Amino acid sequence: QGGSILAGVYSVPLVLATCAPRWLVSQEPALLLTLTTSSVRQSFFDQGKLRFSRLTPLATRSPTEVARACASESLKTYQYLVGQHLIPRDAPLRTVILAPGEQQPAIQEYCHGSSHLIFEFIGLAETAHRDKLKTPAGNLTADALLIHELAQKTPAQQFAPAAERRFYHLWQIRFALTAAAAVILASGLLFSAKTMFGVYTQRQE
């Protein structure tokens, strides 16, 4: 609408699959929790690959609700992964929470390490800075970081019907033709300049 061109419809798990392994550094099994404006997403990675992802909506997004959700949903996901034999029953699961620095103390009150879960924290602002996202610190959200990651590296898979992307394909063709015309024009100018320089050199001789 409004003259917008639809490039594609992408899901958050597809975006996380491209950037989260870099945040996690290690390829050992890990559960990544990302806090968006209205939910907590739990994504399980193993050997750098996304294996499972689920979303838990939040009613108020108060610091207490966020902290409780992180603790309870981490345990539920751990139990699910054990039940599906995706992780060993007797091995603790590395659980990494991507959250703003000001939210981390409240979350730490509820997310205590146990024999099942080992909690770690990744600063949202620090991660955004490393990934070259320029935005005021006070307005930074995980949503903004994920959109930035999507723009930097677009997943190959998307969910928009071909008919809805028709104008995007036309834009790609137009852009390719314009780029080709610019290359041809530049080549012609260079050839003309070389020819004129050759003529000038011959006259001088």
Q: pLDDT digit string (tens) for 85-98?
A: 999 988 899 999 99
Strand partners, 99: 123
Q: Taking all residues of the chain, what is their mean pLDDT, rounded to a whole number?
A: 83
Residue 43 has pLDDT above 90, yes or no: yes
Q: With bands split at pLDDT 50, 70 and 90, how would you rate the model's confidence at 9? A: low
pLDDT tens string 103-121: 999 999 999 888 899 999 9
pLDDT tens string 141-180: 888 898 888 888 776 665 455 655 554 455 456 656 666 6
Are 65 and 41 a contacting pair, CB within 8 Å? no
Residue 8: per-residue pLDDT:
57
Using N-to-C axis directions, what is the helix angle for 142-152 and 12-24, rounded to 10°? 90
Residue 21 has pLDDT above 90, yes or no: yes
Least confident of 18-32, 69-83, 118-132, 150-164: 150-164
| Run of H or E residues at 94 | strand 93-99
